[in-house]
Amino acid sequence: LDEEDLDRLMASIRALVDMNKQIWERCELQKQVSCTLAGAADDCLLFYRVGYESVDVATEAKTLKFKASTILSSKSFPVFPELPGHFDVSRTVLPDYEQVLLKAVHLRDELLEPFLTIFKDHLKCVQVMLGEVDSWLLEPSHAYA
């Protein structure tokens, strides 16, 4: 792996790290959402969202009044896969991948390329999983006729 290939690999990994972080921040920004590690072995991520079941509209003395009924939905998603290697990162929902990348650059040359390739595949897998969470959070919780 020459210097130019290594730069391209690092750039693609940084782009995946940034994209995953943006998707996760978008998920966290939705105030009606909370996420917990569920199960005895932290085997899934449980997300909650609040949606509107119905909205009633009434008028009283030239005033328009809305009354909304909400519904709480939940969905389990698999926990994101473990990081490759033995990197000491706290087990949060989404680890600090930038720290992992900073630590990885200190690997010996013969270990760096294989690790970065595996790390990139890991980040792609996490991105797919984050996309599924993001899609569920954005879809309407009820279909209205």
Question: Of residues 75 and 19, which shows the higher confidence score?
Answer: 19
Under the banding of pLDDT at 50, 70 and 90, the label for residue 19 is: very high
Q: Which residue has the higher pLDDT, 27 or 34?
A: 27
pLDDT band at 49 (very low <50, low <70, confident <90, very high): confident
Query: Once rounded to an integer, what is the mean pLDDT over residues 12-34?
Result: 82
Give pLDDT, residue 15.
Answer: 96
Helices 109-138, 97-104: inter-axial angle, 10-degree rounding: 170
Instruction: Judge whether 48 and 15 are in contact, CB under 8 Å.
Output: no
Quick check: 118 and 124 in contact, CB under 8 A? no
- Is the model's pLDDT at 41 over the cut of 90? no
Q: What is the pTM of this model?
A: 0.75
CB 51 within 8 A of CB 140: yes
Q: Cα separations (Å) of 126 from 19, 34, 50, 132?
A: 10, 19, 25, 10
What integer pLDDT is reported at residue 31 of this predicted model?
45
Q: Are 115 and 84 in contact (CB under 8 A)?
A: yes
Give me the count of residues in the chain: 145
Tell me phi and psi for residue 11, to 5 degrees: -65, -40
Q: Which of 36-40, 41-45, 60-64, 71-75 has the lowest mean pLDDT?
A: 36-40
pLDDT digits (tens, 9 = 90+) for 82-141: 776 666 555 567 788 888 888 888 888 888 888 899 999 999 999 999 999 889 888 876
What is the pLDDT, as a whole number, of residue 145? 38
25 class by beta-carbon count within 10 Å (0-12 exposed, 13-18 middle, 19+ buried): exposed
